[in-house]
Amino acid sequence: MILTPTLILCLVGSVFGIGLLAILYPSSYLTGAFTFLILPLGSGLLGALTWPVLSEAWSVVRFEHKLASAAYIAWMIAIVTLMSCVALVGSFHSGMSVSEEVRRFILFVFVGICWSLTALLIQLLFGRNTSIIITVIHCVFTITIGGDVLAETVLWLGAFQAWPETALSWGRFVIATPIALGAAGAVALLTHRLLDRVSGKRYRGE
């Protein structure tokens, strides 16, 4: 839907980084980097990189295209899914098991979609800077809980973004997947409704 120069640079850099990790390091490095850094930051900043451009003419776009809100959300979902596919291919190249990587991919997609739309929702309500700050805080929290022994306790549930690493066992997977799917669907609905109501400079996220 919209590709700004900054977004293109971020996407290309992410793909290059994933490829480099897949070639040079064990698969755990790749999946860890994607789970704790690339996915939470990338999905969280997706709206911050695109909405300020769209918002300039959003009223006109909405008037001419009634499905503009759904199209924008679908585009964000597509970007998250595409990058998750890149990570999946990279992990296969690194020799990870098919079953484990499919479970990880499902969580990548659902968790990434949920957070990208949540960050956009925050931006629409409270501004771009607030969304970016919360994204960074969320990323640090994910690393703190998901990358520590705390992930072995019930606290793993609180580190939502770390689920692709901490919820791969079948016991946790069957809990995490419906929660992530439901949360993504709920946030998508809320974001769609808010985008339909957006008009004027108030929602530029400045």
7: tokens are: 């977004």
Per-residue pLDDT at 116: 96
Q: Distance between CA atoms of 79 and 169, rounded to whole angstroms?
A: 27
pLDDT in tens, 3-55: 888 999 999 999 999 999 988 888 888 999 999 999 999 999 999 999 988 88
Predicted TM-score (pTM) of the model is: 0.90
Mean pLDDT, residues 93-108: 83
pLDDT in tens, 106-120: 999 999 999 999 999
Q: What is the DSSP string of 19-69?
A: HHHHHHS-HHHHHHHIIIIIHHHHHHHHHHHHHHHHHTTHHHHHHH-TTHH
Q: What are phi and psi of 66, to 5 degrees?
A: -65, -25
pLDDT in tens, 117-167: 999 999 999 999 999 999 999 888 888 887 767 778 888 888 888 999 999
Do 35 and 129 touch, CB atoms closer than 8 A?
no
102: tokens are: 């499919």
Per-residue pLDDT at 64: 84
Q: Where exactly are the structural domains of the chain?
A: 5-199
Per-residue pLDDT at 56: 82
Q: Distance between CA atoms of 62 and 78, rounded to whole angstroms?
A: 20
Q: Which residues contact 161 (CB under 8 A, 6 or more apart)?
A: 35, 36, 39, 40, 111, 115, 138, 139, 142, 146
Per-residue pLDDT at 96: 66
